[in-house]
Amino acid sequence: MVYEKIICPYCKSDNVVKNGRNSTGRQRMMCRNSECKHKTFQLEYSNNASKPGVKEKNY
């Protein structure tokens, strides 16, 4: 069995737990870092615009 370490894409913390599934059946994760502004995220997104960092502009 292979274990994959899951890291929050927003705060880079590894204090992450499973938090159910969304309406399409994809796994939802929850960050337990109290300083993280985004508490939940998904491992896979069906819409590319929902991925973390896509809407941010780098000038």
**12-42 pLDDT per residue, tens:** 999 999 999 988 888 999 999 999 888 898 8
Q: Is the pLDDT of residue 52 over 80?
A: no
Query: What is residue 17's predicted lDDT score, i.e. its pLDDT?
Result: 93
Residues 17 and 31 sit within 8 Å (Cβ to Cβ): no
E strand map for the chain: 16-21, 27-31, 40-42
Q: What residue ranges in 2-57 does DSSP mark as E strands?
A: 16-21, 27-31, 40-42
Structure-token match 């927003």, residue found:
10
Give residue 16's pLDDT. 93
In angstroms, the CA 58 to CA 37 distance is: 20
Span 42-48, average pLDDT: 75
Higher model confidence: residue 43 or residue 31? 31
And the tokens for 37? 């502004």
Q: What integer pLDDT is reported at residue 45 of this predicted model? A: 73
